[in-house]
Amino acid sequence: DTAVSQTPKYLVTQMGNDKSIKCEQNLGHDTMYWYKQDSKKFLKIMFSYNNKELIINETVPNRFSPKSPDKAHLNLHINSLELGDSAVYFCASSPWDREGETQYFGPGTRLLVL
Amino acid sequence: SQQGEEDPQALSIQEGENATMNCSYKTSINNLQWYRQNSGRGLVHLILIRSNEREKHSGRLRVTLDTSKKSSSLLITASRAADTASYFCATDSGGSYIPTFGRGTSLIVHP
């Protein structure tokens, strides 16, 4: 059973389009995240949700909007896609553990904006 | 902001050799974690070491932490071709227990 799943795995689209990436975790974790990994493999956190509430919103353009319908799902909607949005987007989850939060990552969504 | 910096950026060794990767960070930490990322995959957690610990082992992995030097090392003993991957350190500090990742060390193990 896949613990953290993302769809789609690949996404190729034109500039200006709006797209969504879905994430689901079946680990019963309270916290979910979105990360962006650039071409140099730098992994940067974008958002963090705990029990459906936003707790971290790093400096991300407001074209990016996360939505958490329940604590097992955290979707990422991106409006007006730009070339610089091309990257791999990872969803992750973790238990709300104040003694160090081990992250469980999804397989990633490779976004290419043309 | 980026906290951990891995060194070297790339490492190429022969199967059976040991691989050592280092991570340096700037501010005091609560915990430090190491993750592995195989090509085209998500990151997989390897080991977590707390700020009051100095060394941890897991199978062929050995992690050390030197808080006075603000650095950690990951040693993979008797490496295998399957160990080929990128290795990331991640630290959390202050009131936030959410880890911040470095840029990773790319390890290639030649059979």
- Do B99 and A101 meet the contact criterion of CB atoms below 8 Å apart? yes
For chain A, the straight-line distance linking the first and the last C-alpha, in angstroms and rounded, comes to 34
What is the rounded average pLDDT for all residues in chain B?
A: 92
Contacts of A43 in chain B (CB under 8 A): 43, 88, 101, 104
Of B43, B50, B98, the CB nearest to A105: B43
Q: What is the DSSP string of B47-93?
A: EEEETT--EEEETTEEEEEETTTTEEEEEE-S--GGG-EEEEEEEE-
- Do A107 and A3 meet the contact criterion of CB atoms below 8 Å apart? no
Indicate if the pLDDT at residue B6 is higher than 90.
no
Indicate if the pLDDT at residue B96 is higher than 80.
no
* Predicted local distance difference test score (pLDDT) of residue A114: 96
* Predicted local distance difference test score (pLDDT) of residue B51: 93
Tally C-beta pairs within 8 A across A and B: 60
The per-residue pLDDT string of chain A (114 residues; one tens digit each, 9 = 90 and over) reads 669 999 999 999 999 999 999 999 999 998 899 999 998 888 999 988 887 778 777 778 899 999 999 989 999 999 999 999 999 999 999 986 656 678 999 999 999 999
Cα B57 to Cα B77: distance, rounded to the nearest angstrom: 11
**Of residues A29, A54, A108, A100, the one with CA closest to residue B100:** A100
Report which of residues A97 and B87 the model is more confident about: B87
